Amino acid sequence: MTMSPGDPSSAARSLQGGNDSGEPAGNRPGNRSGDASPSVSAATTANAAITRITIAVQTDDFDLSSEVAALRAGDTSVGAVACFVGTVRDLGGAQAIAAMTLEHYPGMTERSLRSICDEAARRWPLAGVCVVHRIGELHAGDQIVLVAVTSRHRGAAFEACEFVMDYLKTRAPFWKKERGPDGERWVDARDSDDEAARRWARQAQQQQQQQ
């Protein structure tokens, strides 16, 4: 979700989840205190398997290989890994982009991301879901977001990865401001993003009607 911000400080608190053993999740390795708001938890899927869900909102960059290795660690049932990495383009429409600033509501954003991942785990038989989203100032070529999904089969992994990203774009409270030669501007959500999310809602309705 991208729009002009209200008062982010009104909801400025971190969401700290527990890991599968019930122990509190600490800061992600390599992040300065306060830079990340990680949440590690479990969700029950339709086939009663346990999906490991890891969420982080942070200023630091992320390493794709490390995140995927952590998501797969110790789970030999995984037969497919699907990943999406979003990066900063050098053009926003017809305007060149020198930098981008991403803001969020601490706590609220993490809960929204968790809800999206939980929904994916209910729809598909997943082994794990990882979402890492950066905030702060970013430049052309920088990584913005990672969505990684593991499953026994590629079909579920591909679809769930696309679902999480589509819903993230429209439901997670992030605010994006682009800076170019003509100054700064807040970026609104695109119609194509809204339509992508509606497609999944229609799919769910059709599946319910068929049951």
Taking the model in full, what pTM does it have?
Answer: 0.74
pLDDT at residue 113 in the model: 97
pLDDT at residue 1 in the model: 56
Residue 19 lies in a domain: no
CATH of the domain at 117: 3.90.1170.40
Residue 51 lies in a domain: no
Residue 95 lies in a domain: yes
Residue 26 lies in a domain: no
Residue 189 lies in a domain: yes
Residue 17 lies in a domain: no
pLDDT at residue 124 in the model: 95
Residue 98 lies in a domain: yes
Angle between helices 191-210 and 154-171 (to 10 degrees): 130
pLDDT at residue 104 in the model: 95
Low-confidence ranges of the chain (pLDDT < 50): 3-37, 44-49
Residue 81 lies in a domain: yes
* Segments forming the whole domain that contains residue 189: 66-210
pLDDT at residue 154 in the model: 97
| Per-residue H/E/C for the chain | CCCCCCCHHHHCCCCCCECCCCCECCCCCCCCCCCECCEEEEEECCCCCEEEEEEEEECCCCCHHHHHHHHHCCCCCCCEEEEEEEECCCEECCEECCEEEEEECCCHHHHHHHHHHHHHHHHCCEEEEEEEEECEEECCCCEEEEEEEEECCHHHHHHHHHHHHHHHHHHCCEEEEEEECCEEEECCCCHHHHHHHHHHHHHHHHHHHHC
The count of structural domains within the chain is 1
